[in-house]
A = this chain, B = another copy of it.
Amino acid sequence: MINYPNKKPIRDQKSVKKTSHANRGINFENLINSSNEFFIDHDLAYIYKKPTPIKVIKVNFTKDRFKTKKHKISEAYFETPSTTDYNGIYRGRYIDFEAKQSKYLSFNVGANLKAHQVDHLANVWRHGAISFLIIHFQQVDEVYILFTPQLLEHYQKNKNTATISIDYFKEKGYLVEQGFRPSIDYLKILDIIIDKEYDEPR
């Protein structure tokens, strides 16, 4: 059966594997997205995922089966996001974060965050945002929030490319409760920070 004409070329097999990696990331994203929908439905917070930036090169006009005119994009490329994945408002505060998943008991900042994304988290924090990383560690199925000051502390000490161990998240971050609805109740952690700031403004 080797090299049977209908066999998928090796490149395609790789692409399938890649997709499944990506899907693992998307699963955590889906939990965040559904939690955000829950918050919106209950008028608690308005936080949305930003669309993936795509550079459109070619657009054609087509008609679908109901003869409705449609713009079909026939050539486009993914672009690097200039900021983070999620932002919005909670309790009058600007919220901004990046959500990631890790297969390991550590998070590789260098491989998963661009320098300008870290700068973005730092810039908005300095201007009064609550900005953070939220990471799902798959091996232990635990979710942690690490706020920007603690991320920067680690990032600067370790020359930007370092891997952050889950122990650092345990020590300097916050464990996020997982449940049914919302599945990732990260607003509870934001409450801790917001309430603290009312007592001792930064």
Binding site for B on A (CB under 8 A): 11-12, 15, 40, 43, 45-46, 48, 50-54, 56, 61, 70-79, 81-83, 87-96, 120, 123-124, 127-129
Q: How far is the CA of A160 from the CA of B5 in the complex (A)?
A: 60
Residues of B within 8 A of A74 (CB): 74-75
For A96, the closest partner residue in chain B by CB is B89
Residues of B within 8 A of A120 (CB): 46
A73 touches B82 (CB 8 A): no
* Candidate in A78, A87, A94, A95 with the most chain B CB atoms within 10 angstroms: A94
User: If the complex has contacts A54-B54, A128-B91, are A48 and B83 also in contact, measured as CB distance less than 8 A?
Assistant: yes
Copies in the complex: 2
For A51, the closest partner residue in chain B by CB is B53
In-complex Cβ contact of A70 among B40, B43, B77, B90 (8 A): B77
Known: A73-B73, A90-B127. 13 other contacts (CB 8 A): A40-B123, A45-B127, A46-B123, A48-B83, A54-B76, A71-B78, A72-B75, A73-B76, A74-B74, A89-B127, A91-B127, A92-B94, A92-B127
Could you name 25 residue pairs across A and B whose Cβ atoms are closer than 8 Å? A15-B61, A45-B127, A46-B120, A50-B51, A51-B52, A51-B79, A54-B56, A54-B73, A54-B76, A70-B77, A71-B78, A72-B77, A73-B73, A73-B75, A73-B76, A74-B75, A76-B76, A87-B88, A89-B96, A89-B129, A90-B127, A92-B94, A92-B128, A93-B128, A94-B94
For A92, the closest partner residue in chain B by CB is B128
